[in-house]
Chains A and B, each alone.
Chain A
Amino acid sequence: DTAVSQTPKYLVTQMGNDKSIKCEQNLGHDTMYWYKQDSKKFLKIMFSYNNKELIINETVPNRFSPKSPDKAHLNLHINSLELGDSAVYFCASSQDQAGPIFGGETQYFGPGTRLLVL
């Protein structure tokens, strides 16, 4: 049973296209995230949702729009793709309550989606 899953795993597309990446978690977590890993392997947060509510929105072009239909799903839609959007995008999830009792601070990652824009 996959805890955090992403589709597709690979995405090759042309500049200017619109694409979506889907993420689902079956861990019962309340918080989900999107991270971007660039060509130098640097990982940076893009968005975070808690119970379908946006709580982190880093400096990301507004061509990127996250959507959370329910707390188990967080999708990422990208409009007008550019060459610089080529990267690996990771979805992650955690409980929203950090602390010694809940141990909710640990984030579990999906397998990543490698996006290549030509």
Chain B
Amino acid sequence: AQTVTQSQPEMSVQEAETVTLSCTYDTSESDYYLFWYKQPPSRQMILVIRQEAYKQQNATENRFSVNFQKAAKSFSLKISDSQLGDAAMYFCAYRNQAGTALIFGKGTTLSVSS
């Protein structure tokens, strides 16, 4: 069974600085998708970024980028120029090619200070 591990329960960053959130996963599949979701205090689940496993190029979305290491089964999220509004819980999630359900990690709570 696939699993997703986020080893950092909490992280903190200063405004305008860069922070990296870690995620590792375990799968025997070769085709799959990886996601980072953000959950602010409003509890809405917001898609931050996604990566297709067949793509070697790392995904980027404005200040958010990933470091996808397929052989190491690692999928970290880098947030550049951190803003107060980035404070939230961040979930790493996996979905295989054939399946439909997302498998989530336990989340990392990110706090941003001014």
Query: What residues make up the interface of A, taking CB atoms closer than 8 Å to B?
Result: 31, 33, 35, 40-45, 48, 50, 55-56, 58, 88, 90, 92, 94, 96, 98-100, 105-109, 111-112, 114
- Is there an interface contact between A42 and B100, defined as CB atoms closer than 8 Å? no
Decide: A42 near B47, CB < 8 A? Known: A98-B33, A106-B35.
no
- Is there an interface contact between B106 and A42, defined as CB atoms closer than 8 Å? yes
How many A-B contacts are there with CB distance less than 8 Å? 58
* Closest residue on chain B to residue A49 by CB atoms: B100
Cα distance A112–B35 in the bound complex, in angstroms: 19
Decide: A106 near B100, CB < 8 A? Known: A88-B43, A111-B43.
no
Chain B positions within 8 Å of A108 at CB level: 47
Decide: A105 near B43, CB < 8 A? Known: A48-B100, A56-B100, A100-B52.
no
Using C-beta atoms within 8 Å of the partner chain, give the interface range for chain B: 20 to 34
- Is there an interface contact between B107 and A98, defined as CB atoms closer than 8 Å? no
Query: What residues make up the interface of B, taking CB atoms closer than 8 Å to A?
Result: 33, 35, 37, 39, 42-47, 50, 52, 54, 89, 91, 95, 97, 100-104, 106-107
* Closest residue on chain B to residue A99 by CB atoms: B97
Within the complex, the shortest CB–CB distance from B55 to chain A, in Å, comes to 8
Chain A facing B: main interface SS: strand
- Is there an interface contact between B101 and A40, defined as CB atoms closer than 8 Å? no
Decide: A96 near B100, CB < 8 A? Known: A109-B45, A112-B43.
yes
Within the complex, the shortest CB–CB distance from A8 to chain B, in Å, comes to 14
Chain B positions within 8 Å of A94 at CB level: 100
- Is there an interface contact between A50 and B100, defined as CB atoms closer than 8 Å? yes
- Is there an interface contact between B100 and A111, defined as CB atoms closer than 8 Å? no
- Is there an interface contact between B47 and A33, defined as CB atoms closer than 8 Å? no
Within the complex, the shortest CB–CB distance from A37 to chain B, in Å, comes to 8
Chain A positions within 8 Å of B103 at CB level: 45
Of the candidates A55, A90, A105, A112, the one whose C-beta lies within 8 Å of that of B95 is A105
Apart from A31-B100, A40-B106, A105-B33, list 4 A-B contacts with CB within 8 A.
A45-B103, A48-B101, A92-B45, A109-B45
Within the complex, the shortest CB–CB distance from B111 to chain A, in Å, comes to 15
